[in-house]
Structure 1
Amino acid sequence: MFDSNSPNSDLLRSILGPLLEDFQYWFGRSRLLLETETLPFLSAEKRADLLARVSTAQQEVSTAQMLLKVTDGQVGIETSVMKPWHDLVGECWQVAVRLRLQESGKNNCD
């Protein structure tokens, strides 16, 4: 039986909660970028695929947050579940960096 008052439970809550919030933050920003910005270097198909994966990841993170909350921190998440989220955030950062580089190149030519 898991003791919810154990130091491990406190550690899990103190690390996992903020980590899930970070994932939500970055997925939200990424979704906004994909839905509102012009990304000429990204085909419509790739853009739609990335947006769909971000939306799915947001739902998965929301579910994990809900489970963490309703179990009072007694549930953990396997790293094998979080690694794809981490990779997806990195992929979204690359798109954002590419957009910024493209925009800064335009501004330098004006």
Structure 2
Amino acid sequence: MLNSNLPEPELLKTILQPLLEDFQYWFERSRHLLETEQIAFLDQQQQFDLLERVKQAQQEVNSAQMLFQATGGQVGIDMAAIMPWHHLLTECWKVGMRFRAERSPQNEGI
């Protein structure tokens, strides 16, 4: 549980910094999957579009991280900016789970 007595900048560092790092990690994993695998249930354009949205989100998160670091953790990020990243990651996780499920040995007739 978070300490509600933390000063605001410390609270931002405690919450926002790890959140941005998590976004970067999961977007990178999603990007790797989309760049290295042919996703059978997505047509080529759908896969390309999803990959482009992931790349854009990575740039946005990177910009937010740089701003956060440049201000010494003195700025927050509006939920209106964070929610689309969350929705995109949810979409990527669903694609990844389905991709792995369809490639599992029981689905390959083994």
CA-atom RMSD in angstroms: 1.1
- Report the residue type matching 2:107 in the other structure: K
Task: List alignment gaps of at least 5 residues for structure 1.
Answer: 1-5
Distance in 2, matches of 1:26 and 1:93, equals 9
**Where does residue 24 of structure 2 map in the other structure?**
24
- Report the residue type matching 2:11 in the other structure: L
- Report the residue type matching 1:106 in the other structure: N
**Where does residue 44 of structure 1 map in the other structure?**
44
Q: What is the Cα deviation at residue 38 of structure 1?
A: 2.0
Question: Identity of aligned pairs, percent?
Answer: 54
Task: List alignment gaps of at least 5 residues for structure 2.
Answer: 1-5
**Where does residue 11 of structure 1 map in the other structure?**
11
**Where does residue 106 of structure 1 map in the other structure?**
107
Distance in 1, matches of 2:46 and 2:83, equals 21
- With the length of structure 2 as denominator, give the TM-score of the two structures: 0.91
Q: What is the Cα deviation at residue 100 of structure 1?
A: 1.0
How do 1:62-77 residues align onto structure 2 when only pairs under 5 Å count? 62-77=62-77
User: Once superposed, which parts of structure 1, at least 4 consecutive aligned residues long, lie more than 3 Å away?
Assistant: none
- With the length of structure 1 as denominator, give the TM-score of the two structures: 0.91
**Where does residue 3 of structure 1 map in the other structure?**
none
Distance in 1, matches of 2:39 and 2:51, equals 13
Distance in 1, matches of 2:68 and 2:14, equals 11
- Report the residue type matching 1:80 in the other structure: A
- Report the residue type matching 1:55 in the other structure: K
Distance in 1, matches of 2:55 and 2:86, equals 14
**Where does residue 57 of structure 1 map in the other structure?**
57
3-state DSSP of counterpart to 2:103: helix
The number of equivalent residue pairs is 104
